[in-house]
Amino acid sequence: MRDFLVEITTTVPEGTSQDEVDRRRAAEAVRAKELAATGNLARLWRPIGELRSIGLWRATDETELLEKVLGTLPLRPWMTLVVTALEPHPNDPGPSHS
Mean pLDDT (the chain, rounded)? 95
pLDDT of the residue at 51 = 86
Does position 97 have pLDDT exceeding 60, yes or no? no
pLDDT of the residue at 32 = 98
Tell whether pTM > 0.85.
yes
At 14-43, the pLDDT tens digits run 999 999 999 999 999 999 999 999 999 999
Report the alpha-carbon distance of residue 58 to residue 4 in Å, rounded. 6
Q: pLDDT category, 95, cuts 50, 70, 90?
A: confident
Single out the residue of 4, 9, 94 nearest to residue 47, CA to CA. Answer: 9
Single out the residue of 62, 73, 78, 68 nearest to residue 10, CA to CA. Answer: 78
Per the CB < 8 A criterion, the answer to whether 2 and 42 are in contact is no
Full strand arrangement of the beta sheet holding 79-86: 41-45, 52-59, 2-10, 79-86
- Contacts of residue 87, defined as CB under 8 A and 6 or more positions apart, other chains included, come to 2, 3
Does position 96 have pLDDT exceeding 70, yes or no? no
Higher pLDDT, 82 or 96: 82
